Amino acid sequence: MNLDIIGQLVQILRDAPELGAIEVRRGLFGIWSSVRVSKTGHGSSVAQAVMVPAVSASPASGGAAPAPAAVAPALLEIKSPMVGTFYKAPEPAAEPYVKVGSRVATGQVVCIIEAMKIMNEIESEVQGVDREVCVENAQPVEFGQILFRVDPHA
C-alpha cells in the first residue's frame, strides 16, 4: 500500500472524530488491501468496507486526493456473481464494455467472467456513471468481489 494512501487514512481519522479506527489488511497476492472503517462507540461494527489497490500512483501535486474510504459511501458496487477470470471486453482487440466515466444502464453487459471455459456476460443491476474499475483485465476474481463502483447520482 502506498504511503500517501496511509497518510490520507490517518488524516481522515484526525478530521473525523466519530471514526474510531481504520483497519488495513493485505489481500490476495498482495494486490488488494481491505480498508475497514469503524465508528466510535459501536464496538466492531463496520461503517464502510472498501477494496483499494495496494499499489497506486501518488498525486503529482501537493494537494491531498480523497481517500477511497471517504468517497465510497455514495457509490454502488457491481460484484462478481461467480469465481472465474474477469475480461473487460468481448475479445482482446475490442473496446471495453465499460470505462471509467461511461454511463451504465440496468441490464447492460459490463464484463465477461470465464468460468469452466464458459464465457458469462455479467449485466449491471444498477445504473449511473462508472467511477472505478476495480479489477484488471484477465485477473482471477472471487465470488462477491467488487468489479465496478458506480455513482447512481451522476
Q: What are the pLDDT digits (tens) for 66-118? A: 445 444 458 999 999 999 999 999 998 999 999 999 999 999 999 999 999 89
66 and 84 in a single domain? The answer is no
Report the pLDDT value the prediction gives residue 14, as an integer from 0 to 100: 76
- Rounding to the nearest 10 degrees, give the CA dihedral for residues 95, 2, 61, 146: 40
Q: How confident is the model at residue 144 (pLDDT cuts 50, 70, 90)?
A: very high
Which of these three, 56, 73, 90, is where a domain ends?
73
- The CATH number that applies at residue 139 is 2.40.50.100
107 and 58 in a single domain? The answer is no
Grid coordinates representing 142 are 472471487
91 and 56 in a single domain? The answer is no
Give 14's contacts (C-beta < 8 A, 6+ positions apart).
none
Asked if the model's pLDDT at residue 138 lies above 70, the reply is yes
Grid coordinates representing 149 are 463502483
84 and 146 in a single domain? The answer is yes
Least confidently predicted of 2-6, 24-28, 64-68, 146-150: 64-68
Q: How confident is the model at residue 55 (pLDDT cuts 50, 70, 90)?
A: very low
54 and 98 in a single domain? The answer is no
pTM comes to 0.52
More confident residue, 47 or 17: 17
Domain that holds residue 111: 76-151
66 and 91 in a single domain? The answer is no
31 and 86 in a single domain? The answer is no
Identity of residue 115 = A
Which of these three, 50, 73, 96, is where a domain ends?
73
30 and 46 in a single domain? The answer is yes
The total of structural domains in the chain comes to 2
Average pLDDT score, the chain? 76
Which of these three, 25, 45, 73, is where a domain ends?
73
